[in-house]
Structure 1
Amino acid sequence: MLVEIRGFRFCSSVRMLAALVFIVLCIQPGHGQTCTEGFTYDRRARQCIDVDECRILPDACRGDMRCVNQNGGYLCIPRGLYNQPYRPDPPALPEPVHPDTSAGFSDTFLLAPPRSVEPSYPRVRGTAQCILGYTPAEDGTCNDIDECETNSHHCNPTQVCINTAGGYTCSCNEGYWLIGGQCQDIDECRYGYCQQLCANVPGSYSCSCNPGFILNPDSRTCQDVDECEDEPCSHGCFNTYGSFMCNCDEGFELASDGTTCIDLDECSFSEFLCQHRCVNTPGSFSCICPPGYYVYEDGRSCEDVNECDTGNNTCTTAQVCFNFQGGYTCLDPLQCHPPYIEVSDNQCMCSAENPACRDRPFTILYRHMDLSSGRSVPADIFQMQATTRYPGAFYIFQIKSGNDGREFYMRQTSNVSATLVLARPIKGPKEVVLDLEMVTVNNVINFRGSSIIRLTVFVSEHPF
């Protein structure tokens, strides 16, 4: 059956209708970004946009055909058929209009209101033709082709395919960016995503903290750990930024592990810490003194205990208690040997009238003193002088006996006095008895006589 409309002949078959209506799809390649056919990559918008082939292609449609742009392609339609409304008689060829290009390809054709006149083109029964990116359905509609599911896309292996209406786009996963058409990993660590430590991994990154810090819930910043809450130190703990410090009580020092405290042996520092002996104690030390001494108020010096004053002695009532450094002695009552007679508690005298006293000292005076062991020398330790002076007389002072080691000598300080000098140190305990003689000489009356001071020196055991 042939029908003539406006000078055109149409065949009733679908094949003849296809000869009159040409649908031409052109492919415009993208630039910089791989886009589907009919789209080009807009660098400013950073997305694929439709190519208007009717505007950029010369003679896109030949003859009496009019070019109609489509989302992703274009159509060539006879001018008379494009402008004439029609009433559909399914199945019949729909009249194309400008589609909505806001969301990929469109498979919707707007229909003109029905008219009472007969259509000016043949009614053709057959399957509806779909634009690129769609496929005909059994009900005659066009369904979108999921290129991502059918693996008919052209995304490279580093990209991710995202299906769109009538097409698809190639994108990158989170953590990647597009460089030269390839998805490359973003090194987040270069941009300070982490406050402290950062480890880049493909498509992501991982933050961690230095020792002494913990990661905050934001997984990026770090918070100081108060290590002192766990009591890591044996004594005191001081928290610092990212760490901690241990300190020790007085008398202790920090061990090599930095957390425990060990006792400090103060006695090993100096032998002069205590006057006598140092005893180390946990965290401190104590000084002890030998028998006969007590520890002084300073806690280090040793002070003599006067046993004679405290009554802590063994002397009888007939004896006299004599205290010296570190001890005491009990002195028996004075006994004067003939021809000497006792004239006082500590003096014996030999009378000049007694012939037996000739060439003997006129008096013997008993004295006692104490001396520290190892006392520094020279040291003046005792002084003697004439108590009775005679006109025209002069006096000579000398050590008559007891100076076997020559530790002492007499130094005359005036014509009536002299001083006993310690010349060499004496180590105790020791008892030294010296006879210090004062010779009286009077040439006027041709007189020569002498007196003796019998000095007993108790040298202590210790130098204090």
Structure 2
Amino acid sequence: MLTVLVLALCCIHSGNGQTCTEGFAYDRRARVCVDIDECRTVPDACRGDMQCVNQNGGYLCIPRGLYSQPTYPRAGERAGGRVPAIVEREPAYSDTSRGYPEAEPYPLPPPPGPVAPSYPIVSRSAPCILGYTLSEDGTCNDIDECVTDSHQCNPTQVCINTAGGYTCSCTEGYWLVGGQCQDIDECRYGYCQQLCANVPGSYSCSCNPGFTLNPDSRTCQDVDECADEPCSHGCFNTYGSYMCNCDEGFELASDGTTCNDLNECGFSEFLCQHRCVNTPGSFQCHCPGGYYLYEDGRSCEDINECETGNNTCTTAQVCFNFQGGYTCLDQLKCDPPYIELSDNQCMCSSENPACRDRPFTILYRHMDLSSGRSVPADIFQMQATTRYPGAFYIFQIKGPGNEGREFYMRQTSNVSATLVLSRPIKGPRVLVLDLEMVTVNNVINFRGSSIIRLTIYVSEYPF
């Protein structure tokens, strides 16, 4: 009798999502399932006088004395790399230490003929172990179950041939879940730095606008858009984008890249004192004739043509400058019965009967006035040059020139008064006012008057 003990070790080894069948372990380097040599790894695999013989996916315990006897293997079954079960006969010995029931030896009747033993062949003339086939030269060659299609791998799995067996695995990008190869969603594990698209068995990385994919096909590199000069003026590169800026005097257009000229003249009417002219990126102030642009670039100053000599007055004339222009004054001529007293004064003698009821003197004065000057404004002062005991003075505006009542006289003392502008006057305009000072002396019963003939040149502009 031969007792054969088959020990099945269920070892499940996982590597990269791969499960091996019983009696095999996963080799991470070769990425295949290899047979476990239980005769070396299992302590006291066989006890007593039993010899341990490793098999593909298991091992056998055989009596040592039977090695030299001719033996014949029993037929078995193989499924997915498992070692076939060996049919045992009734034990002819007792081994309680291995957990077998005790049995009394019983005599065996002699067989009528030779009986084939039921234990595997272990001699040199024995056939090959499971997973191998005997060649014509007597050697054992591995059976490629993957080629012969004798494997039992799931349609979603890949068959990988091993020495004496095979293993079922999944291709790259898949993992084994419940006996089925399922696609690995690499996008869930952050394989891509920015954008990820999962595809069956793989994945694809891409980048957001403003970035380009690096050679590693995973990370993204910022694109320097300013290198292509997308802005009409200045460009500032940012992470994943860029910004355009404009030179002074320009503003960014709605497209974000071009610059439009800024019309500074439209901001305020007070930017220039007279006229504002827009220029690309800036503006210029202009002044009317008779003025020059002040050093601040905005204000207008009067040109004194009488001082610069840039006038048309003759040597017999007197040049009088006013805001924005000038005039040439002819030599004073006094109308009879007046006679010239000085360059700018005419006198009518009291001894001349024709001078009765006429002003004693007429003094000629000239002044300029800005158009639209704010009111009220004191613009001219008049006072008596001599005083007489018991006399008092009356100041008033006489004759035409004040039809619009733009002026009035305000007496400031007994001997003086001030001409006041009460309403704004728009120019250009020339006004002539007779400012009269009446002298009254009741002691000697005297009444006389003097006139200041004031010519006012109102400019065209308020500066």
* Displacement after TM superposition at 1:202 (Å): 2.3
- Quickly say closer, same or farther: Cα 1:317–1:168, change in 2 above 3 A: same
Task: Name 1:427's counterpart in structure 2.
Answer: 426
Mapping of residues 212-223 of structure 1, within 5 Å: 212-223=210-221
Task: Name 1:446's counterpart in structure 2.
Answer: 445
**Contact residue 291 and residue 300 of structure 2 kept, 8 A:** yes
Task: Name 1:109's counterpart in structure 2.
Answer: none
Mapping of residues 299-314 of structure 1, within 5 Å: 299-314=297-312
| Secondary structure of 1:377 counterpart | coil
RMSD: 3.6
Query: 1:39 aligned to 10, 16, 23, which one?
Result: 23
Q: Distance in 2 between matches of 1:181 and 1:403?
A: 117
Task: Name 1:230's counterpart in structure 2.
Answer: 228
Task: Name 1:173's counterpart in structure 2.
Answer: 171
| Secondary structure of 1:228 counterpart | helix
- Quickly say closer, same or farther: Cα 1:72–1:444, change in 2 above 3 A: same
Q: Distance in 2 between matches of 1:28 and 1:411?
A: 131
| Secondary structure of 1:258 counterpart | coil
| Secondary structure of 2:226 counterpart | helix
**Contact residue 26 and residue 32 of structure 2 kept, 8 A:** yes
Residue type at the aligned position of 1:174: E
| Secondary structure of 1:308 counterpart | helix
| Secondary structure of 2:153 counterpart | coil
* Displacement after TM superposition at 1:358 (Å): 0.6
Gaps of 5+ in 1: 1-19, 86-91, 96-102, 106-120, 122-126
| Secondary structure of 2:136 counterpart | coil
**Contact residue 429 and residue 459 of structure 1 kept, 8 A:** yes
Gaps of 5+ in 2: 74-80, 84-115, 117-124
* Displacement after TM superposition at 1:317 (Å): 1.3
Deviates more, 1:277-286 or 1:308-317: 308-317
Task: Name 2:338's counterpart in structure 1.
Answer: 340
| Secondary structure of 1:148 counterpart | helix
Task: Name 1:460's counterpart in structure 2.
Answer: 459
Query: Could you report, residue by residue, the CA deviation over 1:358-407 in whole angstroms, capped at 9, with x for unpaired residues?
Result: 11000000001111111111111111100111111111111112110000
- Quickly say closer, same or farther: Cα 1:34–1:264, change in 2 above 3 A: closer
* Displacement after TM superposition at 1:161 (Å): 1.4
| Secondary structure of 2:462 counterpart | coil
Query: Could you report, residue by residue, the CA deviation over 1:174-210 in whole angstroms, capped at 9, with x for unpaired residues?
Result: 2222222222222222222222222222222222222
* Displacement after TM superposition at 1:308 (Å): 1.0
Residue type at the aligned position of 2:363: L
Q: Distance in 1 between matches of 2:424 and 2:246?
A: 45
Task: Name 1:364's counterpart in structure 2.
Answer: 362
Mapping of residues 350-389 of structure 1, within 5 Å: 350-389=348-387
Task: Name 2:414's counterpart in structure 1.
Answer: 415
**Contact residue 128 and residue 141 of structure 1 kept, 8 A:** no
**Contact residue 427 and residue 459 of structure 1 kept, 8 A:** yes
| Secondary structure of 2:455 counterpart | strand
Q: Distance in 2 between matches of 1:192 and 1:210?
A: 15
Are residues 1:81 and 2:79 paired? no
Q: Distance in 2 between matches of 1:254 and 1:35?
A: 68
Task: Name 1:270's counterpart in structure 2.
Answer: 268
- Quickly say closer, same or farther: Cα 1:66–1:291, change in 2 above 3 A: closer
Residue type at the aligned position of 2:323: Q
Normalising by the residue count of structure 1, what TM-score does the alignment of the two structures yield?
Answer: 0.78
Task: Name 1:188's counterpart in structure 2.
Answer: 186
* Displacement after TM superposition at 1:249 (Å): 1.2
Mapping of residues 21-420 of structure 1, within 5 Å: 35=20, 39=23, 50=36, 68-73=53-58, 80-82=65-67, 84=68, 129-401=127-399, 402-420=401-419
Residue type at the aligned position of 2:414: N
- Quickly say closer, same or farther: Cα 1:324–1:356, change in 2 above 3 A: same
* Displacement after TM superposition at 1:134 (Å): 1.8
| Secondary structure of 2:66 counterpart | helix
Query: Could you report, residue by residue, the CA deviation over 1:117-157 in whole angstroms, capped at 9, with x for unpaired residues?
Result: xxxx9xxxxx9633221223233322211111222222212
| Secondary structure of 1:309 counterpart | helix
Q: Distance in 2 between matches of 1:251 and 1:75?
A: 97
Mapping of residues 12-23 of structure 1, within 5 Å: none
* Displacement after TM superposition at 1:277 (Å): 0.5
Deviates more, 1:361-370 or 1:128-137: 128-137
Q: Distance in 1 between matches of 2:194 and 2:35?
A: 43
Q: Distance in 1 between matches of 2:422 and 2:373?
A: 10
Q: Distance in 2 between matches of 1:75 and 1:344?
A: 155
Query: Could you report, residue by residue, the CA deviation over 1:95-117 in whole angstroms, capped at 9, with x for unpaired residues?
Result: 9xxxxxxx999xxxxxxxxxxxx
Q: Distance in 2 between matches of 1:281 and 1:76?
A: 107
Residue type at the aligned position of 1:237: C
Residue type at the aligned position of 1:71: N
**Contact residue 160 and residue 167 of structure 2 kept, 8 A:** yes
**Contact residue 131 and residue 165 of structure 2 kept, 8 A:** yes
Residue type at the aligned position of 2:448: G
Q: Distance in 1 between matches of 2:423 and 2:396?
A: 17
Q: Distance in 1 between matches of 2:52 and 2:344?
A: 155
- Quickly say closer, same or farther: Cα 1:148–1:171, change in 2 above 3 A: same
Deviates more, 1:41-50 or 1:209-218: 41-50
**Contact residue 236 and residue 243 of structure 2 kept, 8 A:** yes
The total of aligned residue pairs comes to 404
Residue type at the aligned position of 2:396: Q
Residue type at the aligned position of 1:39: G
Residue type at the aligned position of 1:72: G
